[in-house]
Amino acid sequence: MEEDSSPVKKFIKDIAANKGAMIGFIFVALFFILAIFAPFFAPFDPTTLHTDALRLPPLWALEGKSGHLLGTDDVGRDIFSRLIYGARVSLGVGLAVVSLSLTAGTLFGLLSGFYGGLVDKFIMRTMDILMALPSILLSIVVVAILGPGLNNAVIAVAIVAIPGLTRVVRASVMNEKHKQYVMAAKIFGRGDLGIMFKEILPNCAAPLIVQGTLGFSEGILNAAALGFLGLGAQPPTPEWGTMLSDSRSFIESSPWMVTLPGLCILIVVLGFNLFGDGLRDTLDPRLKKI
């Protein structure tokens, strides 16, 4: 029996012991710091064109000639600065996607799992339809309807993420709602809303947090994919996916232009996935060690 710890303290202790999660957390935290304090870290404005320095290779590939740490792109913008500002966009997209889809998914899942019956059937069949479409296709359709642009891309990616979250929430609500504490709450007079949000929801938080974290990486990836297809962020917004697509014709002559944004996406997504997996290990009671 744990005498000393509240659930939160215990959770922090457990997650700190998980190496993978900590590595992921450090990556993610690093990028968040870069994104928040982008103007401090970026040596140049990300949209300024340095016409005297087009497609400049990174510093280490060039002897002596300084100025641009990671080189410049085809119109002479500083790649390092663009990547740092790009982190802002990507993490912002992730945050927006997760909060949108999490809110909607939780709400649908709660309603569906708690009331069951027709409400459940209607919501879940809608989710089935959404899930039946390939996710990238669905986001393309949404963007096609709403028009290209970062905000619309976020909405599209969030819609794609809703069904998965709804299912997770619904499953754990259905599991929790038959527990006796829910009946106890009913007996001492809590209404449906109170039971849903005050009794059941906190007990479904664990899988939600895990899914939310993993959803972060998926959101970033999907938004980047849309950017790559030219449907997401529009130039000159420094977005990693857009940067990738802009520079793909220079893959042989100036490989750093493609590699660096790709690497950024990789590291952030990997970081979130590692962190999410670690969270799952510590929060999911089925995987909990004795």
Partner 1 sequence: MLEVKNLSKFYIKKKIWGKDQEVRALDGVSFNVKKGECLGIVGESGCGKSTLAKTLLGIEKETSGVATIEGKSRQQLGDKEWHKKIQMVFQDPYSSLNPRLKAIELIAAPLMINEGLSLKDAKGSALKMLQKVGLRAEMAERYPHMLSGGQRQRIGLARALMLRPSILICDEPVSALDVSIQAQVLNLLMDLQDEFELTLLFISHDLHVIKHIGHSILVMYLGKVAEFGERDTLINLPLHPYTQALLGTIPGLDGKKHPPLQGELPSPLNPPPGCTFHKRCPKAQKSCEINIPPPTIKSGRIVACDLITSQ
Residues of this chain that bind partner 1 (CB under 8 A): 1-3, 6-7, 179-181, 183-190, 194, 199, 202-203, 205
Beta pairing partners, 72? 78
Using CA atoms, how far apart are residues 169 and 2, in angstroms rounded to an integer? 28
Per-residue DSSP letter, 43:
S
Nearest to 162 by CA among 103, 101, 109, 107: 101
Angle at 138 between CA 132 and CA 142, to 5 degrees: 140
Residues in the chain: 290
Using CA atoms, how far apart are residues 216 and 231, in angstroms rounded to an integer? 19
Give counts: helices (H), strands (E), the chain. Answer: 13, 0
Task: Report the nearest approach of partner 1 to the CB of residue 139 (Å).
Answer: 35
Using CA atoms, how far apart are residues 244 and 229, in angstroms rounded to an integer? 10
* CA–CA distances in Å: residue 99 to residues 132, 168, 209, 211, 283: 23, 16, 11, 12, 20
Nearer to partner 1 among residue 7 and residue 134 (C-beta): 7
Three-class secondary structure of residue 78 per DSSP: strand
CB 170 within 8 A of CB 112: yes
Nearer to partner 1 among residue 199 and residue 239 (C-beta): 199
**Is-cis flag, bond preceding 261, omega within 30?**
no
The alpha carbon of residue 71 and the mean position of all alpha carbons in its chain are separated, in whole angstroms, by 28
Six-digit token string for 170:
């619904």
CB 81 within 8 A of CB 42: yes
Task: Report the nearest approach of partner 1 to the CB of residue 186 (Å).
Answer: 6
